[in-house]
Structure 1
Amino acid sequence: MTPAVFSHGDLRLYLLSLLNEAPQHGYGIIQALTDRTGGTYTPSAGTIYPRLAKLEEEGLVSKTVEGRTTIYAITDAGRAELATREDDLVGIEEGLADSVRLIASEVRQSVQEAMRSLRADLATAAQEERKSAKARARSEGMSDERASSREALHRADAVVNAFRAQVRTDLRTHVARGGVLEATVVSDLERALDDAAHAVTRALAASTPSDT
């Protein structure tokens, strides 16, 4: 369990809130908790089912068996308890919203840091390649510069592909876990990529031999 998400007794109340929306089976409750906490909290069956059993003992939840599936539903007594603890439930909801915003902020920061690293790597690679190309041109002639450029191109492809794979994996993993991907994160990524593209263009222009 993640205490930062649910304090003592909060999970019990939130389970009642979920069942107040609609009857649900155990796996559905676990999935709903994962989705609504932005992936910060995925409870185990060993956490959820004992609490559901306790709520049933207290008369706040009932269960029915449909084939191999057990469906849980809130009772009138459960709704009455929710009504008396409405302020507590509002506080829990606000805490979950803060958790989701924190995840979005962390994803945005991760993308920005990855872009800064990519720009730095590209700039360093371009600078090193210009120095190496000039040295080889002086000692071996311009024909070897083409081979060096091809090697540099393969290296640049590897850097860009590695970055794309990493960011794509991070984003897809985050969304698959139920995290929120805000539009501002994508906008930051677009701006950073545009900046990196301009940096590469400037570096290439600076290394292009003059016609005069």
Structure 2
Amino acid sequence: MTPPIFGHGELRLVLLTLIAERPRHGYELIQALSEHFAGSYSPSAGTIYPRLAKLESERLVTKREDGRKTVYAITAAGQREVDERRSEFEQITVDQTASLRSVAEEARSGLAQARSGLRAELDRIAASARAAAEAAMTGHAAAMPDPAAEATDPAEAAPESPRHEGGCNFGGVPPVASVSPETEQGLSHLRRVDVALQRLRMDVRQDARTAEQNGTLDGDALDDVERELFEVRRRIAGRFGIHY
């Protein structure tokens, strides 16, 4: 989630100014905000639409339906506010662009540190797992009985283990530890879930690209997608015995 970076009334002014440039629908405003701040700020539909509703209730903008899109246009009262606060808008642009760039740099630095820490933690876990496996193998070998020592009759003593030309003993090598069938089955099920989710993501993304090319990828459509994805997740959770 993008952190709140605007002072009181500042995002309202930015939205009014962008609408004053030309009428736009909600998704166009989200894109315009992102472009205005050089890609450093991209608000969600949940941030934009309540503010647009407030501007409409104050009669600073009007809205009209254009197919499936809701287009917002500036009113005379809204234009007056834009004109009166023009210098404030320019200062907001300068201040917030610099602030967002600083936040982005800090985020990139934090991500690099997190990756480094994760890599070190994974190395530590791998080393610990190797040590545990080696200890288990050693303990298994030490615990194996010596058939020759336990035999009471020399005739019953176990034959000497076979050796190769170098003289190394290959007898009594403990089997390599394996994953239990239950664990393997669980991993297989999770892999199927991962594959299904990846396929769904790729299909939805391709549909979104097609919708964008057709001009039908707007804020209303995205709101519907978010609601439907949440509903799908809720139903899947129910199939897993989890209820929200």
Q: TM-score w.r.t. structure 2 length?
A: 0.46
Give 2:140's aligned residue. Answer: 136
For residues 101 and 38 of structure 1, what CA distance do their matches in structure 2 show? 16
For residues 115 and 45 of structure 2, what CA distance do their matches in structure 1 show? 23
Contact 2:19 2:74 in 1 (8 A): yes
Give 1:122's aligned residue. Answer: 126
Give 1:84's aligned residue. Answer: 87
Contact 1:13 1:89 in 2 (8 A): no
Contact 2:56 2:63 in 1 (8 A): no
Q: How much has 1:135 moved relative to structure 2? A: 2.0
- Counting aligned pairs with the same residue, the percent is 27
Which of 147, 151, 159 is the aligned partner of 2:176? 147
Q: Which secondary structure state, in structure 1, belongs to the residue aligned with residue 54 of structure 2?
A: helix
Judging changes above 3 Å, is the alpha-carbon distance between structure 1 residues 45 and 112 closer, same or farther for their aligned structure 2 residues?
same
Structure 2, unmatched stretches of 5+, are 145-170, 206-244
CA RMSD of aligned residues (A): 4.3
> Following superposition of structure 1 onto structure 2, how do residues 161-176 of structure 1 map, counting pairs within 5 Å?
none
Q: How much has 1:126 moved relative to structure 2? A: 1.1
1:80 corresponds to which letter in structure 2? D
Q: How much has 1:42 moved relative to structure 2? A: 5.1
Q: Which secondary structure state, in structure 1, belongs to the residue aligned with residue 136 of structure 2?
A: helix
- The structure with higher relative contact order (CA 8 Å, sep 6+) is 1
2:26 corresponds to which letter in structure 1? G
Q: 1:129-155 deviations in whole A, cap 9, x for unaligned?
A: 2222222222237432x322x45xx99
Give 1:25's aligned residue. Answer: 25
For residues 126 and 48 of structure 2, what CA distance do their matches in structure 1 show? 44
Runs of 4 or more, structure 1, over 6 Å off, are: none
Would you tell me which structure has more helix in proportion to its own residues? 1
Q: How much has 1:65 moved relative to structure 2? A: 3.4
Give 2:164's aligned residue. Answer: none
Give 2:5's aligned residue. Answer: 5
Q: 1:37-82 deviations in whole A, cap 9, x for unaligned?
A: 366995163344213543xx34xx5544323532124576466346
For residues 41 and 102 of structure 1, what CA distance do their matches in structure 2 show? 25
Judging changes above 3 Å, is the alpha-carbon distance between structure 1 residues 14 and 64 closer, same or farther for their aligned structure 2 residues?
same
For residues 51 and 122 of structure 1, what CA distance do their matches in structure 2 show? 56
Judging changes above 3 Å, is the alpha-carbon distance between structure 1 residues 47 and 103 closer, same or farther for their aligned structure 2 residues?
farther
Q: How much has 1:11 moved relative to structure 2? A: 0.8
Structure 1, unmatched stretches of 5+, are 177-212
Q: Which secondary structure state, in structure 1, belongs to the residue aligned with residue 6 of structure 2?
A: coil
Judging changes above 3 Å, is the alpha-carbon distance between structure 1 residues 122 and 92 closer, same or farther for their aligned structure 2 residues?
same
Contact 1:38 1:100 in 2 (8 A): no
Q: 1:103-122 deviations in whole A, cap 9, x for unaligned?
A: 43443333333222211100
Query: Aligned residue pairs: how many?
Result: 155
For residues 135 and 107 of structure 1, what CA distance do their matches in structure 2 show? 42
Judging changes above 3 Å, is the alpha-carbon distance between structure 1 residues 63 and 47 closer, same or farther for their aligned structure 2 residues?
closer
1:8 corresponds to which letter in structure 2? H
2:72 corresponds to which letter in structure 1? Y
